[in-house]
Structure 1
C-alpha cells in the first residue's frame, strides 16, 4: 500500500535524524540496556521453515519484531544512526530492524557502485549486530512515480518498478548478497518493497521473483528471502504460484504490509487489492468495532501462505499519530499477530513528517511504542 512520500527519505529526514542521533549520543535511552545485550552474540544463520519465518540453528523460532529504519540519510555522507540508537531499540524489547534502502544510493550509474553507501550500510549492520538485533534488508524500496520508481536509478527504469528490478537490479541484489550474506545478523533479504504491477498480474510478479531469487541464491545459498504481493497486501491466488519456479525453494517467507483498518469486511476490492483509504495515508483512523475484520483480512493471507507452504511475516504496519483510534489500532494489531504466532515491523522508527515516528524529537520513545513491542 502506498504511503505518503513525506513519510520517506528526504533532506528533512536526514537533518532531523542527525539531530536525534546527536541527542542519543549525549543521552542514550533512559531505559537500561539488559546485562550483556550490547555484546549479544548472534551466532549461526536464521532459517525459515514452512510454518516459521525465522528459526535459530537449534530449531527455536525467533519472533522478529521491531521498527523499520532508514540507515542511509545521504548517499554521499557517512551519517547514520549511532550505536546508542540500536542499543535503545534492543533495550525496548525488540529483536530486529528492517533497514529501508534506496537503489539509486548504491548504483546511480549502471555498474558504478557508490562505496560510501555500502560503507554506511556496513556500519549500520555492525551496530545492529553489536546490539543483538537481527536485520531484514528492504533492498529496493519502491514508491512514488513513475510506477514505484521514484528512487530507482533513471538508467534502470522500466514500465514498472518490479520490471526494473527483474531486468536491471539483479547485479545490485547480488552485491548485497556477496557483501553481507555471511553476516549472522542478516536475517533476510526483502528484495522488492511492494512490487508495482498494473494491471494486476500476480503470475508475472512471481515469475520476476523467480529471477530475483535465483540471482541472490547464486551468491548466497542460505539467507532467507522475502516475497511480497503487489501493493503490499494484494490477495494472490494459489494458482499464481505456478509461475514461481526458483532453482531452490527453501528459506522463503511471505510478507505483507498491513495497514488495513477493518472498515470493509475482509478488505479487498474487485482486483484483489487491499481497500483504501487505509492507515498508510497517515490520516485514516480505526474504529475498535471493526476489530473482527482485521483478522478476516489477515486470514486471507495466512490461508494462501499455508497452501504454498510459506510462513508469514508482517514487514510493515502502522497508523498516523493523530489518526482516530491510534492506540487501540496498535494494541489490536499486535494482539492479532501474537495470537497467530507471527512477527512484525512498525513503519517506522523515525520519519520526516513525524506521522509514524516511534520517537520524539529528543530521541525518547513515545509512550505507545511499548504497545508495539
Structure 2
C-alpha cells in the first residue's frame, strides 16, 4: 500500500486520481487542520487499517475477497477521518467517504492480488458450519439509515421508486431501502461469516464486510428498479454511472456504520460459545430463522415518522396593484412559488434569454486583441428584438473589488447602466458573479509543470488579493478547471482563509443593497460554476452550501428580496450531474437551483470522444429530480452548442426545454476575438458572431436562431400545463389562478395568418402587435385555457 501511494502521487499531476495527491502546495505555514489532514490523518489511518484488516483475516478461506473488502474499508474510513478533522461535520464526512470508492477499488484489487499470491501455499481451515446470527444488528444497521442518511441516497441518481433509505425520496423508497439493507446484511453475513475465520476480530470484520456488501446489494436493487422506471437505457451511459454512484453511497454507508453488524456477530459468537459449553450435544437442526416480518415492521416503524415534511410556503397572493401593473406590461418583481418562478401577479414566468459577458474582467491572451466588446444599448435592443426577456449579466469580483474593502464605483455604475438599459427594452437581468479557473491570472513565465500538466491562460474571477494558492503551480490538467493553483485557491475560499469568503459575501450584500428596489433584477446568481476544490465533496457540497447560506442571509439583511440562484459545482457542467449543496443548506425559500445544462455539448465525454454519459433529454430529467429534492424550481443559467451538429442538438434541447416548461440563458450573446474562451480564432463565436479581421458582425446562424427564438409564453396566468413549439407554431395549455389574467406570448416573424391563425379556448380580448423582430400576443386567460397556432408534431 505504501508503494502504491507513492507511485500514484508521482504519476498523477492533478491529485484527483491518486489515493493521496500531491499538488505542490506548501505545507507551511499551517493555518487550518485541512492543510495537513491528508498527511497526519488520512495516511496513518489508511496504512494502519490496511495492515490490521489483512493481518486479521490472513487465515480465511476467501482471502482475496476478504482482503479487497478490508482495503476498501481502510480507504473509506481514512477519507472519513480526514474529512471529519478538516470540516468537523460527522454526517458530511461519512457521506463524503463514498467519493473515494473509485480510488479504493483499484487499490483493493492490487493489494488483494499481492496478498493472495503471497498466501497461496497457506493452510486454510474448513468453513464454519454456521455463521453467527446478526439479525438484531442488521435491524439496527438498516433502521438507522433514514436517520443518518445525510446526502446518502439523495440527488440525481435516485428517484422515488428506487429503494434508497432517505426520506426525501418518499415512503416506498425509504422502507424498501431499509428492508434491503437489513436483509442484505443478514444474507451476506451467512456467507462471509462462515469463511472469514479466526478470532473475535475476524468475526467482527466479517460482520462489517457483510454490511458493506449489503450496501452494494442496495445499489443493485436500486439499479434494477431504475431500469424499469426513469433510468432505463436511452442512448447514454447514465444507468451505468448512476449504478456506480449508488454503489459508492451504499458501500460507504456500510463502511461507516457496518461496525454495528460486526458487534452483533461478536456478541452472537460469544452467545453460541456459552451455549455449547452448557450443552454437550446441541441440536444441529437448531437454526436462527430470519425474522423477515420483523425487518419489514421495523422499517415501517422507523421510516414513517421521519417522512413528515413541512409543506412549502405558498407565495403571497397577488395584490390589486400588481394585477393592475401587469395589465400595462410593466416588469414585476419575480419570486418562487412552489416549483415555479412567478411574478407578483401570480403568473408563471419563462425566463428565456442570453448570457452577456461584456462586463467580465477577462485575461487578455494578446494585449492588442481586446478580450471583451463594448456593452451598448444596441446589444439590449438586439436581444429584445430576438424575443428574449432576460439577460444573465456576468460580473467580475476582480473588477468590483480590485482592492480589499474598496469597491470600484465606476464599475458599479456600469452595472447600474446595464440593468437600466435592459429594463428599458423589457428585459429582466440576473446578476451573475462569474468566474472561470478562479481568476484571470495566467501561469507565470517561469512556471514548472509536472508531466501530464501544462501552463495555462488566465480566465476570470477573483482579485489577486483573494487568490491564495500556497505556492501550488498554475498548471492545467485536461483544462482550466483542474489546476493545483485553482484547487488550492478554491479550498482557501471555502475554508475562508484570511476572510476572503467574508469579502465576497459582503460584496454581494453591497450589490443587493444597490438593486433591492429594482423589479427588473430577476435575481442574484451567487457564483458561476464553482470549482470542487481539493477536498470534494466537503468543499463542493457542505462548504459551498455554507457559503450560499451566508450570502443569502447577507442579501436579505441588505433588504433585497429577489430570487437567489445557486449552482452546483463545475462537475454538473462537465458531467451532466453533481451532488450539490446538501438539502436544507438554507431555510430561505426564494431560491432557484441553477445547473448548466451542457449535456452533449462541452461535457468531458464529448471533449474526450467518449460515449455520452448524460443525454440532452436526460439532463432535464436529472435537473428536475434534484430540484424536486430541494423543493424549488430550476433554471439553466447556461447552455449552448458548437460544432457541425449544433442545430440538431439545439433542436432536441428546445423540444426538451418546452416539454419541461423551462427557461434558460444561451451562452453567449457576443464574444470578443480576444476572449480566452474564444481561443483567438477568425471568428468571435457568439450568438452575434464577429469577424476578427475587421471587427464587423458576421452572418448569424439562422437555423440556430430559429430554435432559440421560437414561440413561447413569457407570462402565463396561473400555471403552464403543456408547452410545445416549433417556430411560430405553438401549443400551450394552462390553468389560471386568482392573479392577473394577462397572457403574453412571443412569436417570431410576422405570425403567418395573423389573428386568424390563432385558436384559443378560455382566452378573451386577444390582441397581436409587433414587438421587435416578432409579434406579441396578449389576452385575458381564465380557468383552463388553450392556445394553438398549428400542429407542432407533439
TM-score computed with the length of structure 2 as normaliser: 0.36
Q: 1:303 aligns with which of 617, 625, 637?
A: 625
Tell me the distance in 2 between the aligned counterparts of 1:328 and 1:171.
44
- Describe how 1:330-341 pairs up with structure 2 within 5 A: 330-341=650-661
What's the counterpart of residue 117 of structure 1?
Answer: 411
User: Does 2:689 match 1:360?
Assistant: yes
Q: Structure 2: any 5+ residue segments left out of the alignment?
A: 1-327, 363-372, 443-457, 469-487, 673-677, 691-695, 710-794
Q: Matched residue of 1:315: which SS?
A: coil
CA shift for structure 1 position 256: 0.8
User: Does 2:194 match 1:194?
Assistant: no
User: Does 2:462 match 1:152?
Assistant: yes
- Describe how 1:31-70 pairs up with structure 2 within 5 A: 42-52=330-340, 54-70=341-357
Q: 2:519 aligns with which of 144, 164, 184?
A: 184
Q: Matched residue of 2:635: which SS?
A: strand
Q: Matched residue of 1:194: which SS?
A: coil
Does the 8 Å contact 1:160/1:197 carry over to 2?
Answer: no
Q: 2:565 aligns with which of 226, 247, 250?
A: 226
- C-alpha spacing 1:138/1:74, structure 2 compared with 1 (3 Å): closer
Does the 8 Å contact 1:138/1:192 carry over to 2?
Answer: yes
Tell me the distance in 2 between the aligned counterparts of 1:239 and 1:69.
26
User: Does 2:674 match 1:348?
Assistant: no
What's the counterpart of residue 105 of structure 2?
Answer: none
CA shift digits 1:85-134 (9 cap, x unpaired): 21121111111110011111111001111111111111111110000000
- C-alpha spacing 1:51/1:107, structure 2 compared with 1 (3 Å): same
Q: Matched residue of 2:618: which SS?
A: helix
Does the 8 Å contact 1:286/1:324 carry over to 2?
Answer: no
CA shift for structure 1 position 275: 5.2
Q: Matched residue of 1:196: which SS?
A: coil
Larger radius of gyration: 2
Alpha carbon RMSD of aligned pairs, Å?
3.1
Q: 1:85 aligns with which of 371, 374, 379?
A: 379
Structure number with the bigger relative contact order (C-alpha 8 A, sep ≥ 6) is 1
CA shift digits 1:216-261 (9 cap, x unpaired): 111134100001001062644589224x134xx1210001111111
Tell me the distance in 2 between the aligned counterparts of 1:106 and 1:238.
27
User: Does 2:394 match 1:100?
Assistant: yes
- Describe how 1:189-338 pairs up with structure 2 within 5 A: 189-198=524-533, 199-201=535-537, 202-231=541-570, 233=572, 235-237=577-579, 240-242=582-584, 244-246=585-587, 249-261=588-600, 276-278=604-606, 293-320=615-642, 323-338=643-658
Which deviates more from structure 2 when the two are superposed, residues 160-169 or residues 107-116? 160-169
CA shift for structure 1 position 49: 2.0
Does the 8 Å contact 1:349/1:356 carry over to 2?
Answer: no
CA shift for structure 1 position 204: 2.1
What's the counterpart of residue 5 of structure 1?
Answer: none
CA shift for structure 1 position 144: 4.9
What's the counterpart of residue 370 of structure 1?
Answer: 706
TM-score computed with the length of structure 1 as normaliser: 0.74
Does the 8 Å contact 1:258/1:317 carry over to 2?
Answer: yes
Does the 8 Å contact 1:66/1:94 carry over to 2?
Answer: yes
Does the 8 Å contact 1:203/1:241 carry over to 2?
Answer: no
What's the counterpart of residue 59 of structure 2?
Answer: none
Tell me the distance in 1 between the aligned counterparts of 2:593 and 2:622.
13
CA shift for structure 1 position 212: 1.4
Tell me the distance in 2 between the aligned counterparts of 1:138 and 1:335.
26
Q: Matched residue of 1:314: which SS?
A: coil
Q: How many residues align?
A: 309
CA shift digits 1:31-70 (9 cap, x unpaired): xxxxxxxxx8544311112211x31111111110111002
CA shift for structure 1 position 157: 2.6
Tell me the distance in 2 between the aligned counterparts of 1:169 and 1:96.
25
Q: Structure 1: any 5+ residue segments left out of the alignment?
A: 1-39, 263-273
